[in-house]
Each structure stands twice: as C-alpha cells, then as structure tokens.
Amino acid sequence: MKARQSDTLGSCLHMHHERAPMPHVARIQEFFIEGKNQKQSHVLLHITEPTNAEEWKRGYFFAIAEIEEGDVEMIGHAQRLIDDIESGYYETELGTGGKGPFETTLEFINRRSSHLLHQTGSLSCLVGVIHDASISLSYYGSPHAYVFFSQKDSIEHINILDGGQEEDDTHLFSAVIEGTINPGDRMFFGTPHITDELSIDRIKEIVMSRPLEKAVEHIEHVLKDARKDESFGGIFCNVVEQSADLPTPPSNSAASLQHLIDKQRETTETLSPSLFGGKKKAKAEPTRQQKRRNAIETNHRRRTGEEIIGGTIPQMILVGMGRALVFIGLTLWKVTKWGAIGVSRIFVTIFILLTNKNNGRAHALRSLKETWLNIQSSISRLSLVSKILFLGVIVLSVTFAGSLTYIRIQEHYRQKEIAYEQQVQAIEDKKAAAEARKIYNDDTGAFNLLKEAESLVTTLPQENDEQIKTYEELKSVVDTALLDLRDITVVYANMIADLGAKAEGAQASRLIRINDTLVAFGPDDNRYYFVDKDTGSIEVQSHDSLMKLTSGNTPKENDMMVFFGKENTVYTYSPETKAISRTDISFPSESTRIAAPFIYNLRLYLVDQANNQILRHSKTQLGYDKGTPWLTNNDGVDLAETVSIAIDGDIFALKKSGDILKFSAGTPETFSISGLDPALENPTDLYTYNDVESIYIVEPTNKRIVKLNKQGTFQSQYTSDNWVGPTGMVVDATKKTIYVLDDNKVYSFVM
C-alpha cells in the first residue's frame, strides 16, 4: 500500500510497494465477540456495501469503534458520528484541489464533532473506504491497522498507523492515509484489546495460512474462549483480480448485499439485544405437496355401491328425526309469525286506546274483548292431547327464543371480557418492556412504551368494583414508572433579591446578564432593575420615555445590552453611560414584525414574524444596518409565534406552542423533542451557545427549567417549591448555576 500527504487533515504515513492497477474486487470478512461487561467496553462495527452504480464508484465504507467506560450518550454520539461520515461520503460531490469526498467529509466532521473529545469515556475509532484496490482511512485513539504480505520466504507485516499522526486534542481525525492493496496481501483492522489475547504475529500466522473465511472463524473461537470483560471487533479484507468467472458489481450486488445485511443484523442484535430485539423468523410458506400432507379431509363422498349407513332400522330412525326437526321448525316459524302479527296488532290497539284516533277507542276495546273470548273458546274446544301439544310448543318457543337471547348476551359479555383482558395484558406487557429498556439505559424507548401504556390505561372500562380496582392499580404503577423517567429534580432555590419589596408595583418578566449583574425588566413595567448576583443589592432605573421593553440580549463580550421594544424599536445600554438609548436600525421589508433578539459574533439576529424570516444585522457607527435575510430556504417555516432564539452556529427557535425549530447554514433541519414529559406548554425563553453543551428552556406552566441535549433528547428538569411560574432565566454553564426570575423574585440554584 502507499499513503499520501493530506493538506488539510495532517501528516500521512507511507506503506510498502504498489503495483500497476488492474481491475479488482474487494472481499471483506468481519467478526464481533461481546464481552461480559458492556459498560466497560462497547464496540460498534459498521460496513456499508454500495447498492447502485453511482455508489459503486465510491466503493465500500467501513468503521470500527470502541468506547471504554462510556455512558449511553457517548455511545449514541459515536453511532451518529459513524452514520454522518457514511452519509457524507456517499452524498458529497467530488471536491476540487485534489480533495475527495472522504477527506471533505472528515473535514466537516472535525468541525462539528469536537465535543466528543471531552465526553465521558475513552474512544478509539477507525473509518475507511475501499474502492477496487484503493483504500483510504483515518483514525482516532488506538485502534489496530496492519497489512500482511509475503516477501521471499517469509511473511511480513506493517503497522499502518505507526507514527501516522501526532496526538491532536482539537480534531478527531487529523490524518488521512491512502494507498492500494496488492493481490495476495491481507489487511486487518481491529479494536485495541484484541492484541491482549492474540499477538499480531499470531494473527498474521492464522490469516496468511488459511482461507479468509476460515481464518475469521478461527479467530472468533479463540476470542470467545477468552471470556473477557472487553468486547472485540475487527475486519479482514483482501482483493482479487477481476476475471471472467467473477461477476462484476453491481451484477452480484443484490446477493452480496443481502448476505451483508444478514451479517449486520446478527452483529447488531449481539451488540444490544435489548435495544434492537430481533425479529423472529417467519415460518416458511409450505409447498403445495406439504399443504396436501398436512390437510385433513372433511368432505366424505360416498363411493359407488356403498351403503349410506348400514341398516334399515338406523335409516328409519334418522328419517324420523329429520321429519320431527322439520315439523318443529315449521311450527316455530308459524308461532313466530303469529306472534309478530299479534304483537303488531297489540301495539296498534294500544296506540288507538291512548290517542282515541278517529274515535276508535270503543271499537278497540270491543275487539280486545272479542279476541280474548275467541282464544278462550278455541282452547276450550281442543282435546287434551292438543292442549298439551300447544302448551309444549309455547314452552319450546319461549325456551328457544330465551336461549338464543341468553347465548347472544353471554357472547357479548365474553367478547367484552376478552377485550378487557387483552387490554390489561397489553398494558402489563408494555410496562415490562419499558423496564427491560431501562435496564439497558434506553430511557427514550422506555418512556415511549410507558406513554403508550398510560394511553391504554385511560381507556380501561370501570363498570364494576373489580375493574375500578384494576384501573387504579395499573394507573398507579404506570404513573410511578413515568415519574421516575421524568427525572424531575426539586432544587433548593436561594432567593437573591425581591424586586417587589424594593419597588412597589414591579412587574418584571425577563432576565438577562451583563458581567456580574443581572438585569430584570418587562413589557408592563417602565423600570428596569440591576441585581448584584453576589450581594443581592437592587438598583432601580426608569425608562419612561422609551417604548415598552419586551426582550433583550447580551453579547459574549459583555460590553453592551440590546433591548427590543414595541413597534420594531431597538435600544442599547452602554456600561459607560449607564443609560438606555434608541439605536438606528432599518429593515428590508415594510411589513417586518421583529422579535427575539440574539447577538452572535457581533451581529444582531432578529426574527421577522410577519415574513417567517431571520434577519442578520451588522453593526454600524450609529447602530445596525438594514439587515439581510439569513434563511435561504424558508418554505414551510412558521416563525409567527417565536418567543426566543439562541445560536451556537446553528439557530434554535422556540415557539409559544413548545416546538423548537432548528436551522443550519440558512436551511431548516429536522428537530424534535424526545423523552420529555409533560410536553412544553407556553415556554418563554431558551438559551444555548457554542461552548454550552445543552439547551435550557424556562416554562411557567409547569414551573420548571428543562434541559435537552442538542439533538432534542431530554436530559433533566428542575423545579422548586418556592416557584410560582418562572418566566426568565440566565444560565452560567461554567459555574453550573441558573438564575431564575419568578414573581418579581430572583433565585439561584446549582445544577
């Protein structure tokens, strides 16, 4: 193999000889052995085979990572890192100046993933691509990468990563190594702890003395027998020259891809059986012959000359029973018919008796009397046997009708009982599944299952004491489990200052900070309040001549404060003059309705609610310029109810509904909150920055401060028994302290 220098990512290594290029096909074999302690060592193994002609031009992508003593968040970051590199490699256009999509993708990842360098745990990661006989790779940490090759009468190896890059605490991938694989050579990439059980010389001997598949099986057996706490993962690959008996991709890509998918599914299930579960194999559809063998003949046909039953007396008995059944059926039909006619006549008669329609009441009474006399006369003329038979028919009819009604009622109640039991079982199953997810630290999955269980509990019938008792028990169990996952921390909030005690009628609702001073203000108050966060002293300032102040922000430099007032007015506060003055500013549209100011890199960003746009204003000597639209694509974007924004390079916009919109490089990105319960309701402020790892939101409705990571996953939430409905906050991430404005009182607590 050979390596070339990377202009942007750092120095590269040189490997041994190269040959004239010929058509080649790469072959890849991977292995994975799960350790006894998943928290101590977690391995991610990823191989992507191209699926279409365009992707075949890029070749295979592979990645190996091991996270030691890492938490679930670190593992999730590593998985997303690999996914981002894979998608970036296949989707990035060919670059200029000699840069390929792999190198371009790694440059982008280095800019966006520096936070992984400071996460809990130790990360070792190697990523690479193979196209024909060419290979490019980069790494972080201490993975293994070797090439084994024959030279004269011996088998040699080269450590590809030996001296390949200097330690760099600012980038994940500081070097790109490129080269070619010669036919007959074999490459090995593995996690750090493999060499604790198998030396490189032993691996070289195994790999070079056996077919690749057999070598991988042998290494798997050795590592499984070791039974260590650490997990092991690795990849072996070689190339073979293209020949007539080897089909060219993508003609064999479908079968090859299916094989790889099956292998990846097995590896995934081994890595995390609780998270991925694994689907049961569906039973194979039986062949036509199998269906015949398993079929049961239920339609017996009489053969020629075969007797129907076998005797005259049985035949006569059956014929008699058949005639009796026919007679009873006809009789029941006639009785039912007469009964229906009689019931209809009774209803008509009752109607006439009640309403005396057409003066027919007297006639109806006479008809009833005559009918009753006729019935009595007819019955009295019957013989004793006929009377008994008539009575029997009536009893049978009533019994038959009653039996049908009873059976249907019983069937209805049984169906309700079965549905009830199934619903209760579904709730218990979801509760059990949530507990299993929680054991493997999948709190988001556990939370979603418990919310489904909670929804089912609310629809449970409560028609008797037993059902009411079951409902209350299940509701209590689910609520307790949800409360545990909600991670609500009741903090001790220390009151720093009481604005109402200092200034009667104070109505402050927003809070910002400049240096060590907190500044409280509100749209319904013509004063603003300076609070020393250390001493709690309060200084009251008036702004009677200004518009109502609705929101504000302080740049990172702490050299000024920007306030936004009604009617699109912008004000600045200068620490030198200690006064608020109106600032010159204009807008690109007359219909602009601005809100939610935020200063980032000396530029003022404002939300134009009327035009669903974010405006960026540069500073001038007198204030700010006209501003330019920052969003390059705002199709389908609704910023009408935006209450706050925060910027860390990307822009996060908080809406009154509780939704958060994310924009990157001027375009919307998918962002959703997961794992938070209850959902946000009428939040008022949001904060983050490029050196802050989380997003903080203040919400008065549930009197809490919510903390999310920058992918939207819930981390924690804080509340206090002293709070009524906090509306403003200032986050000091360095000191892990949050200052809260609630009911004209300023509190502080430590996260």
524-535 average pLDDT score: 93
Which pLDDT does position 95 carry in this prediction? 58
379, part of any domain: no
On whether both 550 and 480 belong to a single domain, the answer is no
On whether both 593 and 651 belong to a single domain, the answer is yes
pLDDT tens digits along 111-149: 887 777 777 778 899 999 998 888 999 998 899 999 998
- Under a CB-based contact definition with an 8 Å cutoff, are residues 105 and 63 in contact? no
Q: Would you place residue 397 in the very low, low, confident or very high pLDDT band (cuts 50, 70, 90)?
A: confident
Across 73-82, 96-105, 152-161, least confident range: 96-105
Place of tokens 């059944």: 325
Instruction: Compute how many other C-beta atoms are within 10 angstroms of the C-beta atom of residue 407.
Output: 10
Q: Would you place residue 259 in the very low, low, confident or very high pLDDT band (cuts 50, 70, 90)?
A: very low
Q: Nearest CA to 716 among 485, 494, 493, 492?
A: 485
Q: Would you place residue 509 in the very low, low, confident or very high pLDDT band (cuts 50, 70, 90)?
A: very high
Look up residue 595 and give its two tokens: 């809100």
713-718 average pLDDT score: 92
On whether both 510 and 617 belong to a single domain, the answer is yes
Whether the predicted pLDDT of 411 surpasses 90? no
Place of tokens 């008809």: 367
Identify which has the larger pLDDT, 569 or 72: 569
478, part of any domain: yes
Mean pLDDT of the chain: 81
Q: Is 383 exposed, middle or buried (0-12, 13-18, 19+ CB in 10 A)?
A: exposed
Whether the predicted pLDDT of 278 surpasses 50? no
350, part of any domain: no
On whether both 82 and 36 belong to a single domain, the answer is yes
Specify which residues 131 forms β-bridges with.
Answer: 134
pLDDT tens digits along 165-202: 555 667 788 888 888 888 888 999 999 989 888 899 99
Whether the predicted pLDDT of 374 surpasses 50? yes
Identify which has the larger pLDDT, 256 or 506: 506
The rounded percent of the chain whose pLDDT value lies above 70 is 85
Residue 168's CATH number:
3.60.40.10
308, part of any domain: no
Q: Nearest CA to 190 among 123, 121, 124?
A: 124
- Under a CB-based contact definition with an 8 Å cutoff, are residues 584 and 622 in contact? yes
Greatest mean pLDDT range, 340-354, 365-379, 403-417, 637-651: 637-651
Which pLDDT does position 50 carry in this prediction? 84
**Dihedrals φ, ψ of 34, to 5°?**
-80, 135
Cis peptide leading into 250, omega within 30 of 0? yes
Which pLDDT does position 548 carry in this prediction? 85
Could you tell me the sign of the dihedral formed by the alpha carbons of 338, 339, 342, 347, in that order?
A: negative
Whether the predicted pLDDT of 106 surpasses 70? yes
Which pLDDT does position 188 carry in this prediction? 94
Look up residue 218 and give its two tokens: 């042998």
Specify which residues 59 forms β-bridges with.
Answer: none
pLDDT tens digits along 426-439: 998 888 888 888 88
- At 406, which amino acid appears? Y
C-alpha 700/C-alpha 593 separation (Å) is 25
Identify which has the larger pLDDT, 675 or 491: 491
On whether both 477 and 494 belong to a single domain, the answer is no
Instruction: Compute how many other C-beta atoms are within 10 angstroms of the C-beta atom of residue 488.
Output: 14
434, part of any domain: yes
DSSP structure class, residue 183: T
Place of tokens 């921390």: 489
The bridge status of strand 494-498 relative to strand 745-750 is: antiparallel
Residue 458's CATH number:
1.20.58
Which pLDDT does position 750 carry in this prediction? 93
DSSP symbols for 445-507? HHHHHHHHHHHHHHT----SHHHHHHHHHHHHHHHHHHHHHHTEEE--PEEEEEHHHHSTT--
Domain boundary among 271, 304, 331: 271
Across 181-185, 264-268, 312-316, 375-379, least confident range: 264-268
Whether the predicted pLDDT of 275 surpasses 70? no
Could you tell me the sign of the dihedral formed by the alpha carbons of 148, 238, 259, 80, in that order?
A: positive
Instruction: Compute how many other C-beta atoms are within 10 angstroms of the C-beta atom of residue 585.
Output: 20
Q: Nearest CA to 160 among 104, 233, 237?
A: 237
Q: Nearest CA to 36 among 189, 141, 193?
A: 193
Q: Is 135 exposed, middle or buried (0-12, 13-18, 19+ CB in 10 A)?
A: buried
Identify which has the larger pLDDT, 259 or 166: 166
Q: What angle do CA 245, 249, 253 make, to 5 degrees?
A: 105
139, part of any domain: yes
39, part of any domain: yes
- At 186, which amino acid appears? R
Q: Nearest CA to 102 among 168, 44, 58?
A: 58
Q: Would you place residue 313 in the very low, low, confident or very high pLDDT band (cuts 50, 70, 90)?
A: low
Which pLDDT does position 98 carry in this prediction? 65
Instruction: Compute how many other C-beta atoms are within 10 angstroms of the C-beta atom of residue 103.
Output: 21
On whether both 585 and 680 belong to a single domain, the answer is yes
The bridge status of strand 186-190 relative to strand 651-655 is: unpaired
Whether the predicted pLDDT of 657 surpasses 60? yes
Secondary structure, 3-state, 584-633: ECCCCCCCCCEEEEEEECCEEEEEECCCCEEEEECECCCEECCCEECCCC
Whether the predicted pLDDT of 10 surpasses 90? no
- Angle formed by the axes of helices 384-439 and 465-486, to 10°? 10
DSSP structure class, residue 65: E
Q: Nearest CA to 375 among 413, 417, 345, 419?
A: 345
On whether both 104 and 151 belong to a single domain, the answer is yes
Which pLDDT does position 688 carry in this prediction? 96
On whether both 553 and 674 belong to a single domain, the answer is yes
Domain boundary among 250, 271, 292: 271
Whether the predicted pLDDT of 330 surpasses 50? yes
| Domain span holding position 572 | 490-750
On whether both 179 and 229 belong to a single domain, the answer is yes
Which pLDDT does position 132 carry in this prediction? 83
**Dihedrals φ, ψ of 705, to 5°?**
-115, 125
Which pLDDT does position 56 carry in this prediction? 83
Specify which residues 686 forms β-bridges with.
Answer: 697
8, part of any domain: no
Whether the predicted pLDDT of 333 surpasses 90? no
Give how many domains the chain has, as a whole number.
Answer: 3
On whether both 514 and 615 belong to a single domain, the answer is yes
Domain boundary among 240, 271, 302: 271
On whether both 480 and 497 belong to a single domain, the answer is no
On whether both 616 and 521 belong to a single domain, the answer is yes
pLDDT tens digits along 40-49: 888 999 999 8
Specify which residues 748 forms β-bridges with.
Answer: 494, 739
Which pLDDT does position 166 carry in this prediction? 58
Place of tokens 């005559």: 370
C-alpha 138/C-alpha 179 separation (Å) is 12
Residue 613's CATH number:
2.120.10.30
The two most distant CA atoms of the chain are separated, in Å, by 128
